[in-house]
Amino acid sequence: MSLKTVEDIAVRGKKVLVRCDFNVPMDDDGNITNDNRIVGALPTIKYLVGEGAKVILCSHMGRPKGEFNMKYSLAPVAKRLSDYLGQTVKMAEDVVGESAKALTATMADGEVVLLENVRFHAEETKNVPEFSKQLADLAEIFVNDAFGTAHRAHSSTAGVADYLPAVAGYLIQKEIEIMGGALDNAERPFVAILGGAKVKDKIGVINNLLNKVDTIIIGGGMAYTFSKALGGSIGDSLVDEERLDYAREVMALAKEKGVNMMIPTDNVVADDFSNDANQKVCNTLEIPDGWQGLDIGPETTKAFSDAIKNAKTVIWNGPMGVFEFENFAKGTIAIAEAVAEADAVTIIGGGDSAAAVTNLGFADKMTHISTGGGASLEFLEGIELPGVACLEKK
């Protein structure tokens, strides 16, 4: 799928509404503690400014529940953006009210205005057409550059496209090109690594990837449901009793399709869910009662790493263990290292695995770290994202 982008539409002198993801973490005093998302939005904004568009930015921030709340104001973002752009970004006091209308009515080419938090209106998340129309009335072109919310059909992510020509910003274009490219045209061997706590959250991804990959690696808390389904004893490890049949079926299906499905053979188990618990390594199918698996073991780490190192395409979503506990992070770190070292297109689905890879210092070594947790999971499930489906195709 090839999306029309900001470069495929004439923007000079036009009012362009850009949906960004400025949902940045802030401390209690309203200071931005990590501005990665603001930096990520700069290429699209700078392009539009450089082309002489009148740039109207919008975003959500937190969950203000449809009411004005200064705690969730985007004003600190306007300040930070002004610093990065070297020009004043004017802050509207509302989203579609008098202030927004007045500021956007009198813009010069290349000027930038930031609207207030779109979630100050309950209509935003309900995708109410009248609200989408009010947003659209401020502009002449819509650009979606917020991949993190592209799986939501909200007014500012999708609804507004009913009223304006709609194209992709650079961030969304990159996400779709790299992840879509891997799913449709992967260089092989293609290895998917799935981890994290819950089987339930990954079923859609497993089902879709089974038709695409050569190897599927299952680690993290979700793996114990698979070991139990194989008849193993998993002690007090995380398990989803309702999905034992699913696990059996999917393992059989993988065999039928010739997909190598790898699950752990040994684990680091603990006598308590804590960093300081006693720990030992044991066979995955023989975890004693009173012990729970919190990480993959050394034999598993080696087998997984070997498969990853030979891959030409790797997609990773979800940690291999409770990596937040330093004493149970070894497996996740080793897998991050293996992915970083692979001579392959490497894609990290957002959320925890993106945080792990970034915190461990491997970010530069990956081809792409997705900016969307939920959105990248849905994309890997093969679901069409409303915030992408509404954009014009080439």
Q: State the nearest-atom distance from the C-beta of 302 to ligand AMP, in Å.
A: 19
CA distance 334 to 331: 5
Q: Is the CB of residue 284 less than 8 Å from the CB of residue 331?
A: no
Specify whether the CB–CB gap between 286 and 232 falls below 8 A.
Answer: yes
> Does the annotation mark 350 as catalytic?
no
Candidates 153, 178, 197, 244; binder of ligand AMP (CB under 6 A) is 197
d(CA 284, CA 81): 50
Residue numbers 207-236 binding ligand AMP by CB under 6 A: 220-221
Contact (CB, 8 A) for 221 and 197? yes
CB closer to ligand AMP out of 196 and 235: 196
- The CB density around residue 190, as the number of other CB atoms within 10 Å, is 22
Active site residue 198: yes
Q: Cβ distance 254 to 202 under 8 Å?
A: no
Q: How far is the CB of 219 from ligand AMP (least distance, A)?
A: 8
Provide, rounded to whole angstroms, the least separation between the CB of residue 313 and ligand AMP. Answer: 21
User: Which residue's CB is nearer to ligand AMP, number 113 or number 377?
Assistant: 377
Respond yes or no: is residue 37 known to be catalytic. yes
Strands, E, within 239-379: which ranges?
Answer: 260-262, 266-270, 279-283, 286-287, 292-296, 313-317, 345-348, 368-369
> Does 297 engage in binding with ligand AMP (CB under 6 A)?
no
Member of 83, 130, 324, 384 binding ligand AMP (CB under 6 A): 324
For the chain, the distance separating the N- and C-terminal CA atoms, rounded to the nearest angstrom, is 8
Please list the residues that pair with 56 across neighbouring strands: 17, 113
196 lines the binding site for ligand AMP (CB under 6 A): yes
Stretch that binds ligand AMP, among 1-9, 256-264, 314-322, 378-386 (CB under 6 A): 314-322
Q: Are residues 58 and 114 in contact, defined by beta-carbon separation less than 8 angstroms?
A: yes
Q: Is 351 in the active site?
A: yes
Asked if 198 touches ligand AMP (CB under 6 A), the answer is: yes
Supply the DSSP symbol for 127: T
Given 264, 297, 318, 386, the residue binding ligand AMP (CB under 6 A): 318
The reply to whether 372 sits near ligand AMP by the rule CB under 6 A is no
Angstrom distance (rounded) from CA 242 to CA 254: 20
58 versus 333: smaller Cβ distance to ligand AMP: 333
Answer yes or no whether residue 249 interacts with ligand AMP by CB under 6 A.
no
Token pair 């979630």 is at which residue?
119
Any idea which residues carry the catalytic annotation? 37, 198, 351, 374
Residues that bind ligand AMP (CB under 6 A): 196-198, 201, 220-221, 238, 293-294, 318-319, 321-322, 324, 351-352
